[in-house]
Chains A and B, each alone.
Chain A
Amino acid sequence: MMKAQKLSILLVSGLTLAAAAACGSDDGGSGGSKTSAAPGGAAGPVSISINCEPPKTNKAQRATFEEDVAAFQKLNPNIKIEKVTDAFPCYDPKTFEPKLASGDLETVFYVNFPNVGRLIASGQAADITPYVNDLKTFADYNNEIDMFKKDGKVYGLPTDGYGMGLVYNKAVFTKAGLDPNNPPKTWAEVQAAAKKIAGLGQGYVGYGEYSGNNVGGWHFTASIYGRGGSVISDDGKKAAFNSPEGKAVLQNLQQMRWVDNSMGSQLYIEWPALMKAMAGGKMGMMLGAPDVLISLRNDFGGKFENYAITAQPEAKALFNGGAGYMINPKATPEQIKAGLKWIEYEFLTPGKGQLDYVRAKGQGLTVGQPYPDLYRPDTPSGQAVDQLRKDNANIDAGQFAGWVEGSKGIPPKAEPGPYAQEIYAILDTPMSAVLTRKDANVDQLLSDAEAKVNSLLASKG
């Protein structure tokens, strides 16, 4: 009997150890094949992997991407793109760390702005500083590149960027007796317009806003930036939103939700939820960037010609939205160089890759939207992109004109530090409170959230 027990224990221990050994192994991969990377910096064949290929449902854009992958490899015979991933969303926090841990993370990976600071702070992106000067357009970048910098080092390249604005439905404006060519310029005008739209009847919502799953805090940040406030202090050690600007953001929502009854009673707790409501055709206005218009058309079935974007009302600063690419921290120097070459070819070169507006127009893709806004307007790259865009525009630039004109000269403002997501989760509470409780005490809500953010920042040192 004892022997049988011992045998069982031995078997269990052996299997457990075998499992642990098998699962614990880490090949330290960078997504590309390590064996094919040239050693010691010598020129030779190098393999990389890339992500964010447009999904199969987006046939035209996928075709251009595949065409570019082939052309890039022909142009650079020493670089082999051995794996292309089309998972959507391109950056998924649920799979990022498991892929990094298992060596499955692509050499070149997409990242949206809210996650850039965190990846840099946690050492999960390669330092590309020694290689960026090889990029022809690097010197022309506008200040969006700053988001990818820390302590003088560069950790990634923005490929898409834009400031916030006010997205509105022109058809709903017309139906409510409002002038779609003269959208609101102040928050008082937003309130008045929202009230009129809600007055159209059942199902009409004047103004939509987020309130959960961190998107509530994200939009609070966009709103307070617009009013000239901040979420955290300049040194990043204290909360800064318990201010007249923060109070104004919440009071404005409370007024529209409970006094004017212009926001409906539906809570929007996920990014697609508000987009679906806007695409549905009964919502008047929402905060959003210019890419919202294209997304309403491509992803949510909205009638493109009905929507327009104007400048964020009374804006003093614009929350910086967008995305870019970073390199796997386990990549070899040759893979980093090859990865940067791909980013440059596909996203940064006027007239090539995604900035090939002649091809885009020919394939029925929208051309003319005022983004990506990557380069300073007085640089050769900035002027080239602008000219190509104008020459090949196939959409009504007027839909974006209010935003372009109204946003000129308003400084961009970045995410509130590497702990932005934690701060957004805390700020969800005051946002959901004013949208669900008529008697919500704005001062108390801000004070409570301030204490929580201060405690969070103190714990991070």
Chain B
Amino acid sequence: MTTASIPVTSGGRRREPTRLRRLVQRNVTAYGFLCGALICFAFFSWYPMIREVILSFQKTNFVDPPKWVGLANFRTVVNDPAFGPAWVNTALFTVLALLCGYGVPFVTAIVLNELRHARAYLRFVVYLPVMLPPAVSVLLFQWFYNPDYGLFNQILGFVHLPGLQWLNSTSTALISLVIVSTWMNMGSGTLIYLAALQTIPSELYEAAELDGAGLFKRIRHVTIPQTRLILLVMLLLQIVATMQVFIEPYLLTGGGPENATVSVVYLMYQYAFNFGNLNAGNALGLMLMIVLMVFSAIYLRVSRDNTV
């Protein structure tokens, strides 16, 4: 670079351009690394999100120029008879998935952490379902849940209990999906909790034991406070993930029986791909995104206030 290209100030001093040059030189590597991430985010996250917002206010057939239709797409999805059940089911699924999917991995991690033998083997066993493709796991459970010859009803029959209808009944279909979801996802949660547990200094447990604390008191007064941050983050991530439940109802129940398992994302899929109304699907997606954003903001605000 030549100095001729650098503008000179009225006083003939070159302080500003030099500072800029230094700033760029000092950070050029960082900006270089940043570029990769920014390009990826721009293409695969921000652009689709912007397009989603735009499409949800338009009517397009991808042939003629799109028309702006105001809130018409939102009215379409709100008037859909499955709209109410979809939100109720999604909320219910999220609550149930939290009860199972949040508690079970944490307790499993504590148990694994307490074990002295076969810890690596059990860690592998717990993580194994995560390595299976979700479709395979779901098909496996399709057999487990079969009311005639499925594994679960065979086990119930073995202990002289009546079989259940599982996916075929409005009262058990949703909880059946929660069980599948928990089984498929608990491995990742367990490993994260286990990693967090292993960062707790053993002196704290020793001190607690010397003070006469039993297992439950140690968990309450040492484990939970020490892993609180990771628990809060995982809670948020889990709620955001379970609110987007799709693959389980799509593959196992088709939203039935009687809309008992139709979820918001499943309804989005129906609009976008089965009803040929991509714009209405986008409108529903935008609604879900806003709900999750508002929830996340409130959650982060509350948890920040409580952790400070």
A residues near B, CB below 8 A?
3-4, 7-8, 11-12, 15-16, 18-20, 22-23, 93-94, 96-97, 100-101, 115, 118-119, 122-124, 202-203, 211-214, 216, 264-267, 269-270, 329-330, 419, 421-422, 425-426, 428-429, 432-433, 435-437, 452, 455-456, 459
- Check if A19 sits within 8 Å of B270, measured CB to CB: no
Contact of A269 among B38, B39, B253 (CB under 8 A): B253
Known contacts A212-B257, A426-B81; A267/B61 CB under 8 A: no
Give the complex CA separation of A436 and B170 in angstroms. 8
Taking the closest CB of chain A, its distance from the CB of B74, in whole angstroms, is: 12
Known contacts A97-B278, A432-B257; A19/B165 CB under 8 A: no
- Check if B47 sits within 8 Å of A23, measured CB to CB: yes
A329 surroundings in chain B (CB, below 8 A): 63
- Check if A11 sits within 8 Å of B254, measured CB to CB: no
- Check if A266 sits within 8 Å of B275, measured CB to CB: no
Contact of B258 among A12, A432, A456 (CB under 8 A): A432
B167 surroundings in chain A (CB, below 8 A): 267
Give the complex CA separation of A392 and B74 in angstroms. 56
Q: Does B294 contact A (CB under 8 A)?
A: no
Known contacts A212-B256, A436-B170; A265/B47 CB under 8 A: no
Known contacts A97-B62, A266-B147, A421-B274; A19/B43 CB under 8 A: yes
- Check if A203 sits within 8 Å of B273, measured CB to CB: no
Q: 20 pairs across A/B with beta carbons < 8 Å?
A: A8-B34, A16-B46, A23-B43, A93-B274, A94-B273, A124-B63, A212-B255, A265-B147, A269-B253, A270-B254, A425-B82, A429-B258, A432-B257, A432-B258, A435-B257, A436-B168, A436-B169, A436-B256, A455-B81, A456-B79
Known contacts A4-B27, A122-B61, A330-B63; A267/B276 CB under 8 A: no
B250-283 near A? 1/0 per residue, CB < 8 Å: 0001111111000000000010011110100000
- Check if B148 sits within 8 Å of A203, measured CB to CB: yes
Taking the closest CB of chain B, its distance from the CB of A220, in whole angstroms, is: 13
- Check if A124 sits within 8 Å of B170, measured CB to CB: no
Give the complex CA separation of A94 and B274 in angstroms. 8
- Check if B61 sits within 8 Å of A123, measured CB to CB: yes
- Check if B81 sits within 8 Å of A16, measured CB to CB: no
Give the complex CA separation of A270 and B75 in angstroms. 29
Known contacts A15-B38, A100-B63, A267-B168; A20/B257 CB under 8 A: no
Taking the closest CB of chain B, its distance from the CB of A56, in whole angstroms, is: 22
Which residue in chain A gives the minimum CB-CB distance to B82? A425
B157-197 near A? 1/0 per residue, CB < 8 Å: 00000000101111000000000000000000000000000
Q: Does B20 contact A (CB under 8 A)?
A: yes
- Check if B257 sits within 8 Å of A267, measured CB to CB: yes
A100 surroundings in chain B (CB, below 8 A): 62-63
Which residue in chain B gives the minimum CB-CB distance to A92? B273
Taking the closest CB of chain B, its distance from the CB of A243, in whole angstroms, is: 20
- Check if A15 sits within 8 Å of B254, measured CB to CB: no
Known contacts A432-B258, A433-B257; A421/B275 CB under 8 A: yes
Which residue in chain A gives the minimum CB-CB distance to B16? A3
Interface size class of B (residues with CB under 8 A): 35 or more
Number of interchain pairs (Cβ within 8 Å) = 133
A264 surroundings in chain B (CB, below 8 A): 148
Chain A interface SS verdict (over half): helix
Contact of A15 among B39, B75, B82 (CB under 8 A): B39
Q: Does B35 contact A (CB under 8 A)?
A: yes
A266 surroundings in chain B (CB, below 8 A): 146-148
Give the complex CA separation of A100 and B23 in angstroms. 47
B148 surroundings in chain A (CB, below 8 A): 202-203, 264-266
- Check if B275 sits within 8 Å of A20, measured CB to CB: no
B17-38 near A? 1/0 per residue, CB < 8 Å: 0011001100100010011001
A22 surroundings in chain B (CB, below 8 A): 43
Q: Which of B59-81 contact A (CB under 8 A)?
A: 61-64, 75-76, 79-81
Give the complex CA separation of A212 and B270 in angstroms. 12
Q: Does B42 contact A (CB under 8 A)?
A: yes
Which residue in chain B gives the minimum CB-CB distance to A95? B273
Q: Does B50 contact A (CB under 8 A)?
A: yes
A96 surroundings in chain B (CB, below 8 A): 276
Q: Indicate the member of B31, B38, B47, B273 with the most A CB atoms within 10 Å.
A: B47
- Check if B257 sits within 8 Å of A436, measured CB to CB: yes
- Check if A4 sits within 8 Å of B63, measured CB to CB: no
Taking the closest CB of chain A, its distance from the CB of B54, in whole angstroms, is: 10
- Check if B46 sits within 8 Å of A19, measured CB to CB: yes
- Check if B276 sits within 8 Å of A97, measured CB to CB: yes
Taking the closest CB of chain A, its distance from the CB of B271, in whole angstroms, is: 9
B147 surroundings in chain A (CB, below 8 A): 265-266
A436 surroundings in chain B (CB, below 8 A): 165, 168-170, 256-258
Q: Indicate the member of A435, A437, A456 with the most B CB atoms within 10 Å.
A: A437
Give the complex CA separation of A437 and B63 in angstroms. 45
Known contacts A11-B38, A212-B257, A266-B146; A4/B168 CB under 8 A: no
- Check if B39 sits within 8 Å of A101, measured CB to CB: no
A118 surroundings in chain B (CB, below 8 A): 276
Q: Given A119-B276, A124-B61, A265-B168, output 6 extra A-B contacts at Cβ < 8 Å.
A: A7-B31, A202-B149, A211-B256, A211-B257, A212-B257, A428-B256
Give the complex CA separation of A7 and B26 in angstroms. 13
- Check if B63 sits within 8 Å of A429, measured CB to CB: no
Which residue in chain B gives the minimum CB-CB distance to A455? B79
Known contacts A97-B62, A266-B148, A436-B169; A15/B275 CB under 8 A: no
Taking the closest CB of chain B, its distance from the CB of A295, in whole angstroms, is: 21
